[in-house]
Amino acid sequence: EDKVVQSPLSLVVHEGDTVTLNCSYEVTNFRSLLWYKQEKKAPTFLFMLTSSGIEKKSGRLSSILDKKELFSILNITATQTGDSAVYLCAVRVSGGGADGLTFGKGTHLIIQP
Partner 1 sequence: NAGVTQTPKFQVLKTGQSMTLQCAQDMNHNSMYWYRQDPGMGLRLIYYSASEGTTDKGEVPNGYNVSRLNKREFSLRLESAAPSQTSVYFCASRVAGDLYEQYFGPGTRLTVT
Interface positions with partner 1 (CB under 8 A): 4, 31-32, 34, 41-45, 48, 50, 88, 90, 92, 97-106
Shortest Cβ distance from residue 13 to partner 1 (Å)? 21
For partner 1, the closer CB: 15 or 27: 27
Shortest Cβ distance from residue 108 to partner 1 (Å)? 10
For partner 1, the closer CB: 95 or 113: 95
Give the 3-state secondary structure of residue 32: strand
The radius of gyration of the chain's CA atoms, rounded to the nearest angstrom, is 14
Class of residue 87 by CB neighbours under 10 A (exposed 0-12, middle 13-18, buried 19+):
buried
For partner 1, the closer CB: 36 or 111: 36
For partner 1, the closer CB: 44 or 80: 44
CB 112 within 8 A of CB 100: no
Q: Which one-letter amino acid corresponds to residue 83?
A: D
In order of 1, 89, 111, the CA distances from 61 in angstroms are: 30, 14, 15
Shortest Cβ distance from residue 5 to partner 1 (Å)? 10
Shortest Cβ distance from residue 101 to partner 1 (Å)? 7
